[in-house]
Chain A
Amino acid sequence: AQTVTQSQPEMSVQEAETVTLSCTYDTSESDYYLFWYKQPPSRQMILVIRQEAYKQQNATENRFSVNFQKAAKSFSLKISDSQLGDAAMYFCAYRSENSGGSNYKLTFGKGTLLTVNP
């Protein structure tokens, strides 16, 4: 079974600064997807960025980028030029690429609560 670990329960950053959230995962599969989701107080989970495991190039979405290290099974999220609206709980998630019963799901880490200080 796959597991996802986020070792930082809480992080804080000054507005306009850069912060990196850590995520490691364990899997025996070679084909999978990794996601970062943001959950603000409104509760809705919002997809921030995704990474296909077969792609060596790190994904980027505006101020958000990842550092994907497949061999190390590491998937960190970097937020540049942090804004007050970035304050939220961030979840790292894993999904298998394979079809078949137990693969149809997301496996989440415990989350990192990000505070942005003005």
Chain B
Amino acid sequence: KAGVTQTPRYLIKTRGQQVTLSCSPISGHRSVSWYQQTPGQGLQFLFEYFSETQRNKGNFPGRFSGRQFSNSRSEMNVSTLELGDSALYLCASSLAGNQQGSYGYTFGSGTRLTVV
């Protein structure tokens, strides 16, 4: 069974540019979450999608956005990149539906974004 796949693994962008990251969840998982990991702030929640609907959003500026497609694949977009956006972006998928139950989250290996 394939795991959570994130592409690309590494990305270098210039300030002011925009970037799109992709996440393919485990087959059958309809919940996809995104997290930003930095040495200073640790792991911070960005947003969560279920069946193409954003159910929860973290405390990030509007430059951060996402979406989920009908096949549960998800993308996140960051516009007008700032140096502080340099981070590891992790995607996680879950079997959890409207009732969360005891399902855990399976993470991908992340996309390392460097803004120069």
Q: Measuring CB to CB, which residues of chain A are less than 8 angstroms from any residue of chain B?
A: 33, 35, 37, 42-47, 50, 52, 91, 95-99, 101-111
5 A/B residue pairs, CB under 8 Å, sorted by A = A103-B100, A104-B31, A104-B100, A110-B42, A111-B42
Bound-state CA distance A50–B42 (Å) is 21
Shortest A40–chain B CB gap in Å is 11
Report the number of A-B residue pairs with Cβ-Cβ less than 8 Å.
Answer: 65
Cβ–Cβ < 8 Å partners of A99 in chain B? 98-100
Shortest A4–chain B CB gap in Å is 10
Q: Does B109 contact A (CB under 8 A)?
A: yes
Cβ–Cβ < 8 Å partners of B109 in chain A? 42-44
| Cβ proximity bits B21-61 to A, threshold 8 Å, 1 near / 0 not | 00000000001010100000011010010100001101000
Q: Measuring CB to CB, which residues of chain B are less than 8 angstroms from any residue of chain A?
A: 31, 33, 35, 42-43, 45, 48, 50, 55-56, 58, 88, 90, 92, 96, 98-102, 104-110, 112
Contacting residue for A104 out of B35, B42, B56, B90, CB 8 A: B56
The answer to whether A43 and B88 touch across the interface, beta carbons within 8 angstroms, is: yes
Q: Contacts A104-B56, A108-B42 known; A50 to B105 CB distance under 8 Å? A: no
Closest residue of A by beta carbon distance from B105: A106
